[in-house]
Chain A
Amino acid sequence: DQQVKQNSPSLSVQEGRISILNCDYTNSMFDYFLWYKKYPAEGPTFLISISSIKDKNEDGRFTVFLNKSAKHLSLHIVPSQPGDSAVYFCAASVDTGNQFYFGTGTSLTVIP
């Protein structure tokens, strides 16, 4: 049973516009959330994270929003650039329980 879900397998956005990638989870015990980016033939690279005690974290063009009541988080990329084209995975963890789960990924294409 998938505890972390990314319901959109793919997303296309024009360069300069906002990209919004979504992630839903089922386990209310998750206390930390991360986003990773993956290019073809490479391993994922860490992008940004957020603790469950916060509802927003920002790093340059990347912002992650957390809505605990809805068990939903999103990654906003503004402005989107062609180099952002990659597969994005969200991940969630229960630190004390040593549980760690990835979503299925969303493939983002930024069109020049």
Chain B
Amino acid sequence: DVKVTQSSRYLVKRTGEKVFLECVQDMDHENMFWYRQDPGLGLRLIYFSYDVKMKEKGDIPEGYSVSREKKERFSLILESASTNQTSMYLCASSFAGGIHQPQHFGDGTRLSIL
């Protein structure tokens, strides 16, 4: 069974801090994704990566960056956290073969920026 593990379930940070959200998958998936989920807006794609050191912007990349140094790990970075980045963050992974491949999700990190 695919396991996507997000490093924290809950995280509280202060405005202006640099925040790292970590995600690890154990199924040798090529694609990895970061989403945020907000009430009334569903899941919105922030960034995705289809290979090591490769990244593509999603729908809402502003204020975020990502890092993929190893195939199994995909990090989301908030360069200078702001209160409007308080949200649920979800990581996902999938096999190569197109962005439409079914994605396997982690359980999410609820991030609060004070």
A105 touches B99 (CB 8 A): no
B43 touches A49 (CB 8 A): no
Fill in one digit per residue for B85-101: 1 if any A CB lies within 8 Å of its CB, else 0.
00000101000001110
Q: Which of B67-75, B76-84, B103-111 contacts the other chain?
A: B103-111
B40 touches A104 (CB 8 A): yes
Could you tell me the distance between the alpha carbons of A31 and B100 in the complex, rounded to whole angstroms?
Answer: 9
Instruction: Identify A41's interface contact among B35, B99, B107, CB under 8 A.
Output: B107
Could you tell me the distance between the alpha carbons of A49 and B44 in the complex, rounded to whole angstroms?
Answer: 19
A45 touches B42 (CB 8 A): no
* Residue tally, chain A, CB below 8 Å to B: 24
Could you tell me the distance between the alpha carbons of A53 and B88 in the complex, rounded to whole angstroms?
Answer: 34
List A contacts of B99 (CB < 8 A): 93, 95, 98-100
Interface membership of B12, Cβ < 8 A: no
B59 touches A95 (CB 8 A): no
List B contacts of A98 (CB < 8 A): 48, 56, 99
| CB proximity to B under 8 Å, residues A78-112 | 89, 91, 93, 95, 98-105
Instruction: Identify B43's interface contact among A45, A95, A99, A102, CB under 8 A.
Output: A102
B100 touches A34 (CB 8 A): yes
Instruction: Identify B42's interface contact among A31, A34, A43, A102, CB under 8 A.
Output: A102
Counting chain A CB atoms within 10 Å of each CB, the highest count among B42, B48, B56, B107 belongs to B42
B59 touches A101 (CB 8 A): yes
List A contacts of B102 (CB < 8 A): 34, 46, 49
Give 17 A-B contacts (CB < 8 Å), ordered by A residue. A32-B100, A34-B102, A43-B108, A44-B103, A44-B105, A46-B103, A49-B100, A91-B43, A93-B98, A98-B48, A99-B99, A100-B33, A100-B45, A100-B48, A100-B100, A102-B42, A104-B42
Supply 13 further A-B pairs (C-beta < 8 A) apart from A31-B100, A100-B33, A100-B58: A41-B108, A42-B107, A42-B108, A44-B43, A44-B105, A93-B100, A98-B48, A98-B99, A100-B45, A100-B99, A100-B100, A101-B45, A103-B42
